[in-house]
Structure 1
């Protein structure tokens, strides 16, 4: 949000620097050619783009449950100002920056959660994909009952109990978020909410999501019609078009995920019970700095960082937690978003032959467009190689390992180039507003698309 406000100030300064629209435009020369009566303004172009980018990077993101223990006897300053501000700066703003600079990663995260939610749906009788999403996003949290609190113990020995309610909930001690494998099925049958209750926990309904999608699709349609009528798009509109296109797929995969749910379901153990996390032993990050950087780059790129997380030691579910999908599912889920990521970069090439204010801006735009296409495509090759290797039962392991290593080296070397590409293209998209061609202010002649006599 802060970034978009800063961008809006750039637009205003660009408007002042650009001065009035050329006389030819004011006289309606372009409009007369296309049968139009009005012209676009710089402020109108900027507002349309910024609002769409905001919807695609802030509103469209469905975060995991960011659990924060309730504090007793808070002062009004902490409750109403400090805590909300800290939440925005440390969590929501971080997600916004990720969505702004690496939207393909958000798409990959959404696909991984969608796939893993389907796996959980098959394993839990009567569950829907919405239940699977809620499980993955940290919807169930382990609490310890206060000492002396009455409870009912289950007939099956797993350490979980049902409190009778004769104690203060403020005295319950939060422990850690839970995975699907950590909770017995008989406990889930008792504590899991219905699909309607899950929808009630979310801060967004189907109508809200449809409104966001309609806004994005409307922007895409406007850009498409301008292309049909051979009217130029500004670089900012090209960037926004890429966001809007990718946002459609993000929304599709997160359609069943509750949005902005903040309170998990409480699952209880006694004050003295021991909790042991299920599953394989957690991997450890390499401590040597150069190797650690390369290791984290690879693992976060393919979404395998979950293997390094010990949930029993976490206060809240990690920001990009996807439920630890298996290797085959992990790379299968990574292939599609990588291809769409290359398409995201390719959309920027719409401005390949546009009129840039300077030659250097044109050259930088073209170089970084190629980089945004190349990096996701290289990772798509890695995903395809790993999936084929698994499906062929490692018959050609040597060849696949060699190809994968080459691609991974390219990803490590070009990871920061990709981030730089996103930053530079965003900056150029705003700086080029200072000098737009006169035809960029011409509006679309919609009458040519409406049947009439």
Structure 2
């Protein structure tokens, strides 16, 4: 029997790029909590644009935290009060986690009973594992900013500079790798923060071993696991030979291209602009190849539904795991 939990469709954005973004936010929240003596929950809400001054301007740069009165006002807010504004968070995580564990149990039972695990189930499993990484990194993160918290004194009126944007290539990197968008691109007077934005974190010698682990190793590991789960369907039955090889090649691509992209990005970050311009097309080729493979791995499982083996429709026999039956 094919069993695909509902979060499969909404979790497509929770693959390794989202894990990278979550990792950057986690490390930024941790860095803020240590530097300014408040909880990681405060740090997450700060990065999400959850604090505003009385004039309605979002408090989202470290410069604003240098104001002692502003910092004191933020520190005075209880972390539990912040989480109370996200009452659905614990419930939604619990439901999703339970559903994911039940789905995983079903897949393992199917393997144990020599029943077919379809490509759609393998794909769903990969997304579920990515969700686990994200849940762990965002465990102390409020669900959303439903109501911003007013803190501190109004910001004195100033003439706002023109809003600047990152170059297109840098914006692609920011979304795909979850990398930082520098604070100079967040101008005073904004009432919300851009999507996929997290506070800049140091990339140099000041980063601890845990910092490097969170920022680079976890996204790399999640990408490797995501691809490996797809590779586990290597010997599955496919309607045609062409579809089998499309699946195999795409699985290899989504396993190793992210590691290559992260490696190239690390190199680009340490090169001059001229050398960066030469390597940028290579990075774009990686992106195009990866996106194409991902689209195939989404389409192929649904195409395979037209010709499933008979055991795919057989339910797991749970009675064999209950001794008295």
RMSD of aligned residue pairs (Cα, Å): 3.3
Q: Name structure 1 gaps, 5 residues minimum.
A: 1-39, 58-99, 145-173, 287-291, 390-396
Q: Which residue matches 1:324?
A: 200
Q: Which residue matches 1:297?
A: 172
Which residues in structure 2 correspond to 1:106-117 (within 5 Å)? 106-117=18-29
Counterpart contact for 2:21–2:177, Cα < 8 Å: no
Which residues in structure 2 correspond to 1:38-437 (within 5 Å)? 40=1, 45=2, 48-54=3-9, 57=11, 100=12, 103-125=15-37, 127-144=38-55, 174-183=56-65, 184-191=67-74, 192-267=76-151, 269-270=153-154, 273-274=157-158, 285-286=166-167, 292-293=168-169, 295-307=170-182, 309-312=185-188, 314-328=190-204, 329=207, 332=213, 333-382=215-264, 410-437=282-309
Q: Write the distance in 2 (CA, Å) between the matches of 1:371 and 1:417.
A: 8
SS at match of 2:150: strand
Q: Write the distance in 1 (CA, Å) between the matches of 2:264 and 2:43.
A: 28
Q: Deviations over 1:211-250 (max 9, x none)?
A: 2111111111211221222211111111101111111111
Q: Write the distance in 1 (CA, Å) between the matches of 2:115 and 2:279.
A: 39
> Cα offset for 1:331?
5.7
> Cα offset for 1:384?
7.5
SS at match of 1:188: helix
| Larger Rg over CA atoms | 1
Counterpart contact for 2:53–2:155, Cα < 8 Å: no
Q: Write the distance in 2 (CA, Å) between the matches of 1:270 and 1:365.
A: 57
How many residues are paired up? 313
> Cα offset for 1:322?
1.4
Counterpart contact for 1:378–1:407, Cα < 8 Å: no
> Cα offset for 1:270?
4.8
SS at match of 1:175: coil
> Cα offset for 1:207?
4.0
Higher RCO (Cα < 8 Å, 6 or more apart):
2
Farther-moved stretch of structure 1 (235-244 vs 333-342):
333-342
Structure 1 position 445 matched with structure 2 position 321 = no
SS at match of 1:306: coil
Q: Name structure 2 gaps, 5 residues minimum.
A: none
Counterpart contact for 2:14–2:130, Cα < 8 Å: no
How high is the TM-score relative to the length of structure 2?
Answer: 0.83
